[in-house]
Amino acid sequence: MVTTTGPTVDLLKAILDAFNSHDVNAVMLFFAEDCILEMPRGPHPWGSRHRGFEAVRQALQSRFDGLPDVHYADEQHFLAGDAGMSKWTLRGTSAVTGEAIEVRGCDFFEFYNGKVVRKDSYWKIIEPG
């Protein structure tokens, strides 16, 4: 994909800041109408896939509802053409179990004309040890 406005590290930082604001509308300002979101949990090897602005918005809202105090920290950002990656530590508390969660993960982004057209999210799997 070739864009006229490629992503920057500042753009990746702004997206992460929007996630940390817990404001799904602020997050969605960065997404294209025809965006795709792949979340780490789901019934398929890719987790769950959400297509289109409203479906992505609802899926992201479910993240904020499930982890109402979610916070992404310790971030690093990388760029390659129209792709970007943000690596982070996610911390939060499950709204269902009350369990504290801390995992390393990353988001792979694809951009077109300065908007996210695809976000693919990965988390480390923590096993009781």
Range list of H helices, 22-128: 24-28, 53-66
Query: From CA 43, how far away is CA 20, in angstroms rounded?
Result: 27
pTM of the full structure: 0.91
**Contact between residue 22 and residue 93 where contact means Cβ atoms under 8 Å apart:** no
- Residue 24 has φ and ψ, to the nearest 5°, of -60, -30
Q: DSSP for 37-48, please give it.
A: EEEEEEEETTEE
Residue range 9-123 in CATH 3.40.50.300:
no
- Tens-of-pLDDT digits for all 129 residues of the chain? 444 568 999 999 999 999 999 999 999 999 999 999 999 989 999 999 999 999 999 999 999 999 999 999 999 999 999 999 999 999 999 999 999 999 999 999 999 999 999 999 999 988 887
- What value does the CA radius of gyration of the chain take, rounded to a whole number of Å? 14
Query: From CA 114, how far away is CA 123, in angstroms rounded?
Result: 25
Domains of the chain, by residue range, sit at: 9-123
- Closest by Cα among 20, 16, 34 to 115: 34
pLDDT for residue 95? 96
